Amino acid sequence: MVYSKDLNIENLPNHVAVIMDGNRRWSLENNKNKFLGHREGMKKLEELIETSGILGIKYLTIYAFSTENWNREKEEVSYLMNLLVEFAKLKSKVLENKGVKVNIFGATDELPDKTREAVLKLREKTRNNNKLYLNIALNYGSRNEIVKAVKKIIDKCESDKEFYNKIDEEKLKEFLYSRDIPDPDFLIRTSGEQRLSNFLLYQLAYTELYFTETLWPDFGKDEYIKALKEFQKRKRRFGAS
């Protein structure tokens, strides 16, 4: 079994969100090719998906590529786009067989053609699965997501004058990428950085946050279990005193 005896399997988060940070720093600290950290990080993502599925965690949302990441060196961006294609093609059958349903958060129309085609094909191939919902935030920025939601609401109000009076927090959620998905219970960010970096700003309002110094390529099963144990120590109040 993948979990330790003192992990309460009955008290696990339903939805885990992860900011996978530290790939480049890992390459530097280990004197590796500057892009190797991204490939090692992909291996850790596979392990995270596997462990989450075994534990029965229902939703997993990962920050794969932000709208700000386009500002990186073109060579690195190209490598990341190709790595996403590789992941989508090589892991498609594995994810399908394990009951993983892939969803994409972000503006896929702005991705390179081969990357967009690969991830959308992966989404299509896994659409009937329901064991684990894997949400990949790709070309994603939360502020941009909220702006798009507001524009859609304005359009809706113009066509339906009664809709304005129906708008509340839950109604707004219907216009987000995560409209059919419960908010995260637990956010993990690796590499020691303690910020959200424009990730799920609306959805993380009452999420428990966990920051670790461990770089993402070193964040294996044991580190994941350690984080989940910390979650189980938290007393969630959802804004109550």
Which residue numbers are catalytic?
Answer: 21, 69
Element (H, E) at 138: strand 132-140
Helices (H), 17-59: 23-29, 36-55
Residue 183's alpha-carbon distances to 17, 49, 69, 90, 126, in angstroms, are 9, 18, 24, 29, 22
Pairing of strands 208-211, 132-140: unpaired
Q: CA–CA distance from 75 to each of 70, 78, 79, 108, 217 (Å)?
A: 11, 5, 6, 20, 20
HSE-up (13 A, CA, CB side) for residue 33: 8
Task: Go through the chain and tell me how many residues it has.
Answer: 241
For 41, list phi and psi in degrees, rounded to 5. Answer: -65, -35
Query: What are the backbone dihedrals phi and psi of residue 65, each rounded to the nearest 5 degrees, phi first?
Result: -160, 120
